[in-house]
Amino acid sequence: MDLLQRFALGEIDAFETLVRQFQGEVYGWIVRVVRDPGVAEDLTVETFWRMYRARTQFRAEGNFAGWARRIATNLALDHLKRRRPEQSLVDELAGEARPDPVLRREMREGIQRAFRGLPAKLQVAATLALVEERPYEEIAEALGTSVGAVKLRVFRAVRILRKRLDRFRSQDLVERT
**Residue 177 in this model has a pLDDT that exceeds 60:** no
Q: Check: CB of residue 40 under 8 Å from CB of residue 31.
A: yes
Quick: pLDDT tens for 125-137: 988 888 888 899 9
The percentage of residues in the chain with a pLDDT greater than 90, rounded to a whole number, is 34
Tell me the DSSP string of 106-172: HHHHHHHHHHHTS-HHHHHHHIIIIIS---HHHHHHHHTS-HHHHHHHHHHHHHHHHHHHHHHHHHH
Rounded to whole angstroms, what are the CA distances from 47 to 12, 17, 58, 137, 138?
A: 16, 15, 14, 21, 18
How large is the angle between the packed helices 147-176 and 136-143, nearest 10 degrees?
100
Q: Per-residue pLDDT for 24 more than 90?
A: yes
Quote the radius of gyration of the chain (alpha carbons, Å): 19
Confidence at residue 169, expressed as pLDDT on a 0 to 100 scale: 64
Whether residue 44 contacts residue 23, with contact meaning beta carbons closer than 8 Å, is answered with yes
DSSP state, residue 98: -
Region 100-123 average pLDDT: 81
d(CA 83, CA 32): 16
Confidence of residue 88 (pLDDT cuts 50, 70, 90): very low
pLDDT higher at 97 or 3: 3
Decide which of 2.60.40.420, 1.10.357.10, 1.10.10.10, 1.20.120.80 is the CATH code for 101-176.
1.10.10.10
**Residue 98: its pLDDT value, please?**
44
Answer yes or no: are the C-beta atoms of 14 and 3 closer than 8 Å: yes
> Residue 63's pLDDT is what?
87
Q: Is 94 a residue whose pLDDT tops 80?
A: no
The pLDDT assigned to 21 comes to 94
| Ramachandran assignment for 35, one of left (phi > 0), alpha (psi -120 to 50 degrees), beta (any other) | left
User: How does residue 92 score in pLDDT terms, banded at 50, 70 and 90?
Assistant: very low
Query: What is the C-alpha separation between 136 and 138, in angstroms, rounded?
Result: 5
Q: Locate the domains of the chain by residue range.
A: 3-83, 101-176
How many other CB atoms sit within 10 Å of the CB of residue 134? 17
Does 96 score more than 80 pLDDT?
no
| Cα–Cα distance measured from residue 32 to residue 127, given in angstroms and rounded to the nearest whole number | 7
Distance from chain centroid for Cα 57: 24
- Range 43-51 average pLDDT: 92
DSSP letter string, 71-87: HHHHHHHHHHHHH----
Q: pTM value? A: 0.61
CATH tag for 3-83 (out of 1.10.1740.10, 3.40.50.10860, 3.40.50.2300, 3.40.50.720): 1.10.1740.10
